[in-house]
Amino acid sequence: MATTEAPASRQRKCIGVDCDNDVGSLQCPTCLKLGKESFFCSQDCFKKSWSEHKTLHKSQRNPLTTLFPPKVVSKPDPASGHFNPYPTFPFTGPLRPAYPLSPLREVPKSIPWPDYAIGGTPKSEQIFVNRNKIAILDEKEQDAMRKVCRLAREVLDVAAREIKPGVTTDWIDQVVHTACIERESYPSPLNYYHFPKSVCTSPNEVICHGIPDQRPLVDGDILNIDVTLYHGGFHGDLNETYYVGQKALADPDSVRVVEAARDSLDEAIKIVKPDMLFRDPGRVIEKLAKERGCSVIKTYCGHGINQLFHCAPNVPHYAKNKAVGKARPGMCFTIEPMISLGTYKDKTWPDDWTSVTTDGSRTAQFEHTLLVTEDGVEVLTARLKDSPGGKVPMPAAADGVDGQKADGRVETK
């Protein structure tokens, strides 16, 4: 969600579906770019209203585009049959989508489905009674979260082992989908608000919500894989960013942003305990990001998770945010900082999902699902001893260059 300050002279009402709450400063980022006001009471409300709200964006576009649609200049490649479906879109970086997408993957009916699996709308998340109330899970529910998060970690690790130059993100989607089915789990992203795949794959300048397609990974890419499972009536959510090939491991900027994202999540988790304010992780995350010469994406935040994929609380990743509430034992939520080498500003591709940096700079993200305990926190999606990936040092050639230290810190004077 984007934030702007609302004039104190008048109190706006939320434009979310069936919502009449007062609002503060949260606005739809796409509407802001179109010069249109659209205030929501919370990011949770914004997400729940997205399917209906996004139709307003199309009505704001140039009517001449509808009368005189642009000519398609991207023809299918003769060798592969792949094409760019948005040839006239002003992409911010070198990445391009590679269509056609593979058909929607099927989930056996023997596996329990979430309520959005057929219609695409998570109606359980749109029940507005007590929607801002944060669930406190009992022991049985906590054990269910432990199980689904362990399964989610297993699936992410299976997918990560497939990463190498030449592999497509569509293949990784197939691997994730199969691994979910083998664990009698539903891949939570599939058809969530009509998302077409079973996992989000976000390379290079893609911040989040990348749609797996036919583009082969190349040596030098960085790739985020965001896995969520639905098992036993609960969701487990985590993601990591990985290096593709030796060129990525040797690139100081790629290593700097990936390790800044990894370390910022680790530092934020250290402060999670009962009575922690939900606005506090953002302070820790932004401090570390700035020390590494990076910025924090502000549009997306951590979220509550349990029987619902996304729910209260919201956990922003930037400093001086206005998140409300504090942690209590039994609460489950994610922290998932998105860190950029350049701007914190984002732009969405015409697929209505893929979020990229407006300057095309690389980004990295890490995410864990957390359970608040009586005396601290339990990382439900923690890495296993044999989990692929993991922290790497800065390339030796970067040590001492332009104030950049080997651990990724930027020396300030």
The dihedral through the CA atoms of 216, 217, 220, 222 has a sign that is: positive
Q: Which helix (H) or strand (E) holds 52?
A: helix 50-60
Residue 194 marked ligand-binding: no
Per DSSP (E only), the strands in 117-196 are 186-187
Per DSSP (E only), the strands in 88-188 are 186-187
Residue 310 marked ligand-binding: yes
CA pair distance 316, 300, nearest whole angstrom: 7
CA pair distance 230, 106, nearest whole angstrom: 15
CA pair distance 144, 150, nearest whole angstrom: 10
Q: With 0-12 CB in 10 A as exposed, 13-18 as middle and 19+ as buried, what is 343?
A: middle
Residue 177 marked ligand-binding: no
Tell me how far CA of residue 109 lies from CA of 106, 123, 133, 156, 245, in angstroms. 9, 20, 32, 23, 38
Tell me the backbone φ, ψ of residue 60, rounded to 5 degrees. Answer: -90, -10
- Cross-strand partners of 356: 206, 347
Residue 351 marked ligand-binding: no
Residue 367 marked ligand-binding: yes
Residue 209 marked ligand-binding: yes
Tell me how far CA of residue 79 lies from CA of 76, 83, 371, 380, in angstroms. 9, 11, 49, 45
* Helices first, then strands: H and E counts in the chain: 10, 17
Instruction: Identify the CA nearest to 264 among candidates 278, 240, 285, 282.
Output: 285
CA pair distance 209, 348, nearest whole angstrom: 10
The dihedral through the CA atoms of 386, 389, 390, 395 has a sign that is: positive
Residue 240 marked ligand-binding: no
Residues belonging to the binding site for Zn(2+) are: 226, 237, 303, 336, 367
Residues belonging to the binding site are: 209, 226, 237, 303, 310, 336, 367
Residues belonging to the binding site for a protein are: 209, 310
